[in-house]
Every structure is written in C-alpha cells, then in structure tokens.
Structure 1
C-alpha cells in the first residue's frame, strides 16, 4: 500500500517531533502500549545484549515485566512505589546495586491513579549511572500538546524511547499505539529484508518500505485515522479536548471532596479520580462496583492505594457535562445508602 506507507512515514516523523527536540526523531506504529513497551525492551536488548537488567516501579504497567519474560531477559526488578510513583531515592539505591547494562522504565500516567513519575530527576540518575531510560507515557503522553499540562511531563524528552497510546487522550479507535525515539538510527535493529516484500533494489529506487517498522507483516493502515484526526482538529483542537477532559476530572474531584458521603484519595494528576464511600469497607465497595456495572448504570474501575480499595473514575469523554457529573454523584450516593 504505497500511499498508506508514505502517509505512515510522514505521520510517525511528525508525531515523534512532538516528543523529541532532536534532528531526526522517529516512531513506529503499534497495536497499543503493550506492544510499544515490548519493542522498547527489544531495542534495548539489541543495544546491550541478553543480560540487560530492567528496573521498573511497582506502579508500572504489567506489560513491562511481561516483555522482559517474552524477550528472554533476566526477570525485571520491581522497585517499591508506596506513594504511587517511583522516587529518585529508590531508583538511586537500585542503580547503585545493579551491575551491567540497565534499562529504567518510568511511567507518565499510571494505570491505577494516573500519576506521573518525577521524570527529570529519574533521567538525571540514569545519566549519572549510564542507564537507558524508557518512559511509558501511554496515558499521559498527549499532555505534551497542552501548554497548560505540559509541565507535568518535564523530562519526557530525555528518554531513549517513549510509549504513547492515542487510544486514550488521542481518542482513536484501537490500534493507535506509538513508540518514539530521538533518532531514527535507534530503530535499526528492527530492519528486516524479504525479497518478495522489500527487494533491495526496490528500496534503493525509493519504493516505500515499512517491513522493518513493525513486528507484524500484514496490518491495517492505522496511520490514516490518526492523520485524519490531526488534520481535522489540529493542535489547538486536540489541546482543547485534553484541557476540557482534565478540567472535568478536577470538577468531579471537587464534588466528591465536598460531599460528606465520599472520601477523595487525591486531586487528579490527569483525568483519573480515586474515591470511596466514607463508611464502606473494601467488601462493600467491591460489591457496589459490581452492582452498578451489572445494572448498567455506571462503569467504574477499581484500584488499591494506601492499603485500601478505591473506586476509579477515569474521564476520557471530552463531552462530559457538569450535569453528567452531578448525576453520577447522585447515583453513587443513592446506591451507597441502599
């Protein structure tokens, strides 16, 4: 598909430039954050060999340790994150006791609470110890487009690779993952050649060649929908949706914090709000969540923080209204008192 291949090459380079202020940034499209994280570990393994140590916070997505297992690397080493983020002190201690090549994976938008690790400070430590840094920004990476929220990602550009998933704050149907790198040469280990697909002379003659840009061979032209969205909305349009969604999460948090029937865990970092009924134990909370789900009235997630279970509302619909939030809180209050 020559047209789709050309479009994908333009799209990936354009998006990569949003995250890396370098002369030749690049990116590959993936099925989502899981595949992008696996590719990041694969590239690190090809740079450093099979004895690569992978360090990640306990707050990291499950795909990080799973990718280490799939790639035949030593078991990934999980570092404690009792406050929800990977602290510089914890990483410094781990790096001091690690030998050989190390890949540190940080998170910008945790699955449970949408928290962002202190990226700049972690990048400093990686520089000091000669470790590579990968950042899983599947959830929070598109905050980079928003002048209001971009400071939360300070240090993101210092990563050797970044996972982005436009299925979240990019509002794309799956598949819409992305792995970005600061220089296209970092993707060289993915190169692959098969005469019936990308004969050397065809590639040299300028025919598009994306065989080495994915672990898959036949795949959909996922670049098209992303390009159509970017062309239709532009930077300002996407920024408006991101800012609006985060503002609605802040509004929900304030409603819950002011309500005597609920306890708010913390103000949201992105658009995830953790809360719980004031007098409910974990068993009652889990039952309430299933009741709402099975009754078709509300779909809420669940997360464990501070040793307790919390309900999780992850707002991702920019068209959510203040009235919708009021209705949710009223529904929860009524369900809690039954």
Structure 2
C-alpha cells in the first residue's frame, strides 16, 4: 500500500508540475509557452485568411452539429495546442463567417483594425478588471480619457460622464434605468434603490419610433415596467420619428391615465440607418418633462466625420446616449459605451461595498469605475480604441466613415437604375433596404410572391457563401438589406453582389 501510495503521490507531482507550465507568469518555461502559443494562434488566423476567398462556406447546421457530437470534453486532454488548433479549424475556423470580406454586407459587423487586435493580446494576458482602482491602475485613466474625448465630440457639458459597456443593449438598459429612477426620485417620495417601484410604475410609458431597436422592449421588461411600457411612434417617409405622431401618442397615453417618463430617439436604425429628428425630439421632451435618451449605437460613428457629423445635431441635448465602438469605430466586440449628461445620475447606479469601493475611498477621490456601471468585473475594452486612435488618429477613421456612406449612396443609385429593384430608403449612414422586384410576363408580382422570392434569394446566397446579405420585414413583406461597414468594399464588389442577387432570383422562377 505504501508503494502504491508513494507512486500515486509521485504521479500527482508530475502531473502538477507539467500542468503548471500553462499559467501566465514570469517563469522562463511559461513565458516561452506564452509566446509560442500566441504565435501558433496567430498563424492559425493567418492560415484562415489565406485559405478562404468567400465570406462564408455555406455549411449546414446539421454538418456542424455532427462534428460536435464526436467531442467529449471530460476526456483527459492529450492534444498539443497545435493539434487543438488543427481541430479548431474543422470545428470553427474553416466555416466562420468572415466579416472582413468585401462581400460581407449583411449585419452591423464591421471589419476590425490591427491596432485593436494588438490591444486584445495585451487585454487578455494582463487581465485587468476595470471595476476598481486597485485592479486597473493606468487602465482607469485610459478609459476616462476616451470617455471625455467622446463626450467632447458629442457636445455634452463639462459635468457629463460615461462608462464602457458590453454593447448597445446594456447601454440602452442603463438609459432607461436612469430615466425610470430619475422620474421616481423627482415625482415620488421613495428611493427606488431601496424601496422598489411605486404602484404607478405600471402606468409609466416610454416613446420611440416603431423601427427602433428591440432592446428597448426587452429592457423595459427587465426593469419591471413591462414591454407594454414601450409606445411605438409612427415614422415619416424617411423612416424618422414623426413629430406630430409623437405628440399625439403622448397626449393619448396621458388621456388614458398613463404616465409618460421618457422618449428615445434613434440615431441609426438597424434596418435603414435612419436618424430621428433629435433637436425636435429634445424640444418635445423638455415640453413634457421627459427623459431624452438617444440610441446612437450605429450612428455614433458619425462623430468621427467632419463631413457627416452634423447629422447628429441634437445629440448634445439628450440626457443619455448609447454609442457602439464595435459598429462604426472598427473595433472588435465588445466595445461600447453609455453616456449621461450629468454625473449626479450615477447615484441611481452607485453602490458601496466595503471590500471593493468603500465610501472612504470615494471621499479620498479614488476613481473606482464600478460606481458608474451595472457590471462589476469588466474587461479593459477601452484599450482597443486607445491603441487605434494613438496609431491611426481620428481623421483617418472619419475618412472610413465618409467612404462607407459614399459607397451606400452609390449602391442605392445602382439598385435604382437597374430597373429590377425597389429601394425603400436613401441611406443616411450605410444601410440600404430593398427588394428584387422584376416583372414576369409584363405583370407585377403580388406581395406574397415578392416575399417568397426575396426570402429565397437571401437563403440561397447564404447557402452558396459567395456573398452574404441580410433580410428583414417591412409591413409583413420580406426585404433584402445591405449594411455597408467595410471601407475596402468597392462599387465593383456591389455590382457583383447585385448580379448574384439577380442570378438567384432567376433560379427562383426556374424552380417555381
């Protein structure tokens, strides 16, 4: 028994000694393994770039699922990192959607910049958590500098503040949270942080255009207000919130005995890139005493452009705003931020934990970022934007925005002049909503036929993989969508994509 026990102890020591090499630290063998691992991972990415010339392979759900059925994660690992990366090619890399490809024009996924990817290497290795000063020395001031830089371009007052978030949904949640709690603080003698919501909260109403982001309804539900708290407002011919319809909607809700508390303007709707009349909404919000939040997750990139920044006029009048750097600042996900007009609104979020950010630390002026965030542990995502700006500068990023807007306008013209397409919007940013609408035997197709046709085209193109586009519905009918976020995509690329659309449209008629 002693012999067996000694052998078992020795084996444990060998396993422990071998496995310890995987930790990131300053031991010579561990530093070597880190460099080797990063090199091998980078090679896998480069090989992926070189092995694919399409945005997608067209692989089926069933084929991918079958590969994963053969993986057993509880088995003792016996693969080297290089062997595991080879396996990863089959499981992921070979069929990953290439958002950097010139013919990927589907969703709000931008190509990313190399300085930001270099930042990712540093972020993951150093593993800074941005919640408190004693975990994020230096990183705190990088984030603060970027927040203040953005606030300055937004035109917010000196007393404004902000925080990096995981994305637009979280930022919009924070905007509605502040709207709710500020209204309660102003109109009721309770503290919502301690006592919850007043009985009247079921009557709270928030207004937004009927083409605004779904996260508003989702967040209203999470905040205890219910999805019915979101009141959709009709849009005009350019898919911007109709101001007469907004005023009418507010008056109707008041007449019902409901309580308007906020209005959300969208600066860049997901489907069409429409920008609501922010200045007019701000005036109406002030008239009715409403919180004014702007969802500029998509349109926030216009701040980079000297040519198009004016389209965000009125943003500076909002009480809070959302901007996604991982949409139009060419950053890897996630990189987003939430902004508030006055620092005092932080009180609705702030919580002191003695082990984390005590009241004494705040009195000493220690900048603990956790007080501004609904997250505690939080990645140092700000470093990606920091390296990008320091290496490339704002003006070059602004030129990229100018380029994709020009491409969108040129593409809309291509579609209109081809004769076979209906284009719904003139792109204010870089989204185009349209459908293939040819005449068959001199007759126009019905709405049902057009929906079947365009749904077929989108699916057939995805299964083929030569180009990837998106689709959505407008008034129940299927439309196709281009979202142009790649400054390297050319008019010729778009001409080829349009040709592919027509090719699959003709296939539909041959098959039906």
TM-score (norm 2): 0.63
Deviation at 1:230, TM superposition (A): 1.9
- Residue-by-residue CA offset, 1:95-135 (whole Å, 9 max, x unaligned): 22325451111111111111111111111111111111111
Aligned to 1:139: 298
Aligned to 1:56: 208
Aligned to 2:85: none
Kindly indicate whether structure 1 or structure 2 has the higher relative contact order, using CA contacts under 8 Å at least 6 residues apart.
Answer: 2
More strand by share: 1
Give SS of 1:196's match.
coil
Give SS of 1:113's match.
coil
Residues 128 and 202 of structure 1: is their aligned pair in 2 closer, same or farther, counting only changes over 3 Å? Answer: closer
Once the two structures are superposed, the pairs formed by residues 276-291 of structure 1 within 5 Å of their partners are: 276-279=435-438, 281-291=450-460
Aligned to 2:413: 254
1:22 aligns with 2:157: yes
Structure 1 segments, 4+ long, off by >6 Å, are none
Residues in 1 aligned to 2:489 and 2:464: alpha-carbon distance in whole angstroms: 21
Aligned to 1:6: 141
Number of corresponding residues: 338
Aligned to 2:323: 164
Deviation at 1:304, TM superposition (A): 2.4
Residues in 2 aligned to 1:324 and 1:150: alpha-carbon distance in whole angstroms: 27
Deviation at 1:323, TM superposition (A): 2.2
Q: Contact 2:404 / 2:485 at 8 angstroms: preserved in 1?
A: yes
Residues in 2 aligned to 1:65 and 1:40: alpha-carbon distance in whole angstroms: 13
Which ranges in structure 2 are unaligned for 5 or more consecutive residues?
1-135, 185-196, 439-448, 508-512
Aligned to 2:241: 86
Q: Which moved more, 1:94-103 or 1:146-155?
A: 94-103
More helix by share: 2
Aligned to 2:379: 220
1:314 aligns with 2:489: no
Residues in 1 aligned to 2:473 and 2:233: alpha-carbon distance in whole angstroms: 14
Aligned to 2:429: 270
Deviation at 1:47, TM superposition (A): 0.8
Residues in 2 aligned to 1:256 and 1:208: alpha-carbon distance in whole angstroms: 52
Residues in 1 aligned to 2:177 and 2:304: alpha-carbon distance in whole angstroms: 28
Residues 221 and 287 of structure 1: is their aligned pair in 2 closer, same or farther, counting only changes over 3 Å? Answer: same
Deviation at 1:8, TM superposition (A): 1.3
Residues 201 and 293 of structure 1: is their aligned pair in 2 closer, same or farther, counting only changes over 3 Å? Answer: same
Residues in 1 aligned to 2:362 and 2:267: alpha-carbon distance in whole angstroms: 37
What RMSD over aligned residues (CA atoms) do the two structures have, in Å?
1.8
Which ranges in structure 1 are unaligned for 5 or more consecutive residues?
none
Residues 274 and 286 of structure 1: is their aligned pair in 2 closer, same or farther, counting only changes over 3 Å? Answer: same
Residues in 1 aligned to 2:418 and 2:453: alpha-carbon distance in whole angstroms: 19
Deviation at 1:141, TM superposition (A): 1.7
